[in-house]
A and B are shown apart, each in its own frame.
Chain A
């Protein structure tokens, strides 16, 4: 820069100049600011854990392991136990995961196999419009629309799903549940009647909420399978579903597994739909129709009215929820990371 300004001496003033004081120190301040906020993110996570742990400590030292194995929650006698809540959290999440994975995988396969586009294309072909400049784009456009609609399922707030569950799902499934209970009541999962809110409606709504997570990540995993594997399977004479079951799903299995674990993490922490639909009673039961409770719903229902002593106990419950979800989420992220590393190797 100095060479340029020396050569210009005498002719015209050079536009090149050293950074001004403000520019120089502004840059330093800016760099420090980005460092600061990066550190603040780490600090925030630690501070969240610290705050919850600090508030929970008195309750931890007082109740200890009995808190996790106890089955009653009674503020009047100050006996607290969250085993029914842990059971309810796990049971509802696993049920939702089962339903959500089935449907999420179906959607992912449907979209990755381009069933919709092929169907619309064959319709257009029947009318002879398949290469028309406007109509010819329809298959791809419809498929994109379909993908966006599935993503919209995830955008609807959980409290709206809860409202919908109360006024739509429960009245809809109640006659079936009563009939099943009457006929098959000797099987434990149909052991009680559905009196309104209960495990099954909660699990159904929860599965709808986690389905988009599973389908989106599984779709990416399926689309990332190298096309030559599928072509090789077809070349050997495999049908579409033989190649899906024997080649595509095993190859994409790590990504799908990661998706299911991440969805499990979401289901464990989901609050509102469950607080509105699960029934909020401390029961441990195999029955799908029995009311139950979850850790998140327990917090949502009791926190606002809790006295200072109960707050500590609730913070303990929050700490357990935090521990479970962070573990599950980190496992999911780890599996997905391994899956992406593995796929780079294939290419």
Chain B
């Protein structure tokens, strides 16, 4: 009897029945639970990733369809319409967004870059640098509405009214950490040979920074500024109760006045989206399209710059 078994499969005799290697088990087959699980999970991951991109395309499509319908040159030159009025535009809001982001950049760029020079060059390993880095990180996780609350308490209450300056200050608080942390990284990535060569030539620290480090780190600096500008241009919450909104151009008595309430694209979208009038809702979509184009353009410039520095 044992002879016939040996004849059929010689393994069976030498090995106890429990340890039989079934080659079929090693085969990659979807009938095996392990492989099937792997296949299902891979499919699920791919499906979820594609679903994650659906909102982006949906937002862009809706902006193009609903916003593009209303977009024309006249919306850039006209003032927002009142309740039952037809037509109109958001020229003052475009100007307002640019002015306030410009004001914010004027405050936060020198502040951020000089702070970054301290972090990367003057005292990178001091205790102060550690504290400053922590503060910058706290600021970067700061809810944007609290920047508005702060600017309200520190500027609006003191100057006695809503103003473009208060809006600019609120935005600058949100831009500061991005600019400072990216600038620090860009400056510390400059090869130390260049720094040493400058010092060896007898340059003072200020000359090294101005003539060697900042020009070399310039693309990186600009990336940080661009990302910060893109973020600030889209922010609504800090402007709601600092710059408020205005239906008029930024002039009083023929002169430009920054101490007045000022319109911005983001606040216009927020205000008009809640209105029951079709004209205003259409304008909100057109304004959203302009805002997204502005933000994406600045973002893409920043991204292409950062790619250049990496190469």
- Nearest CB in chain A: distance from B43 CB, A: 10
Question: Which residue of the partner chain A has the closest CB to B128?
Answer: A38
Question: Which residue of the partner chain B has the closest CB to A45?
Answer: B135
CA distance A105 to B60 in the complex (A): 24
A52-B149 in contact given A38-B128, A163-B285, A272-B236 (Cβ < 8 Å): yes
Task: Give the contact-size bracket for chain A.
Answer: 35 or more
Task: List which B249-300 residues lie within 8 A (CB) of chain A.
Answer: 266, 269-270, 273-274, 281, 284-285, 288, 291-292, 295-296, 299
Instruction: Give the top 7 A-B pairs by smallest Cβ distance, nearest first.
Output: A269-B143, A157-B234, A329-B141, A106-B48, A30-B206, A34-B118, A271-B237
Question: Which residue of the partner chain B has the closest CB to A240?
Answer: B38
Task: List which B112-147 residues lie within 8 A (CB) of chain A.
Answer: 114-115, 117-119, 121-123, 128-129, 131-132, 135-139, 141-146
- Nearest CB in chain A: distance from B295 CB, A: 6
* Residue numbers in B under 8 Å from A269 (CB-CB): 141-146
Give which listed residue, A26, A153, A160, A303, contacts B152 with CB less than 8 A.
A303
Task: List which B95-111 residues lie within 8 A (CB) of chain A.
Answer: 110-111
Does A73 reach chain B (CB closer than 8 Å)?
no
Question: Which residue of the partner chain A has the closest CB to B147?
Answer: A48
Task: List which A300-314 residues lie within 8 A (CB) of chain B.
Answer: 300, 303-304, 311, 314
Give which listed residue, A31, A38, A111, A244, contacts B129 with CB less than 8 A.
A38
* Residue numbers in A under 8 Å from B149 (CB-CB): 52, 299, 303, 314-315, 318
* Residue numbers in A under 8 Å from B136 (CB-CB): 41
Question: Which residue of the partner chain A has the closest CB to B34?
Answer: A239
A: residues with CB less than 8 A from B are 1, 16, 19, 23-24, 26-27, 29-31, 33-42, 44-45, 47-48, 51-52, 54-55, 102-104, 106-107, 109-111, 113, 115, 146, 148-150, 152-153, 155-164, 166-168, 208, 211, 215, 239-242, 244, 262, 265-266, 268-272, 275-276, 296, 299-300, 303-304, 311, 314-315, 318, 321-322, 325-326, 329-330, 332-333
The total of interchain contacts (Cβ-Cβ below 8 angstroms) comes to 256
Does B205 reach chain A (CB closer than 8 Å)?
yes
Contact with A along B291-311 (1 / 0, CB 8 A): 110011001000100000000
Contact with A along B168-201 (1 / 0, CB 8 A): 0000010010001000000000000000000000
**Are B291 and A157 in touch, CB under 8 angstroms?**
yes
- Nearest CB in chain B: distance from A297 CB, A: 9
CA distance A38 to B209 in the complex (A): 16
**Are B206 and A40 in touch, CB under 8 angstroms?**
no
Task: Give the contact-size bracket for chain B.
Answer: 35 or more
- Nearest CB in chain B: distance from A158 CB, A: 7
* Residue numbers in B under 8 Å from A296 (CB-CB): 143, 145, 237
The contact sample of 9 A-B pairs, CB cut-off 8 A, is: A27-B207, A34-B117, A44-B176, A115-B49, A146-B53, A150-B53, A296-B143, A321-B146, A325-B142
**Are B118 and A37 in touch, CB under 8 angstroms?**
yes
CA distance A257 to B49 in the complex (A): 20
CA distance A322 to B144 in the complex (A): 11
**Are B292 and A38 in touch, CB under 8 angstroms?**
no
* Residue numbers in B under 8 Å from A168 (CB-CB): 58, 62
**Are B38 and A31 in touch, CB under 8 angstroms?**
no
**Are B204 and A23 in touch, CB under 8 angstroms?**
yes
**Are A315 and B153 in touch, CB under 8 angstroms?**
yes
Give which listed residue, B122, B230, B292, B295, contacts A35 with CB less than 8 A.
B122
**Are A51 and B118 in touch, CB under 8 angstroms?**
no
* Residue numbers in B under 8 Å from A149 (CB-CB): 53, 56
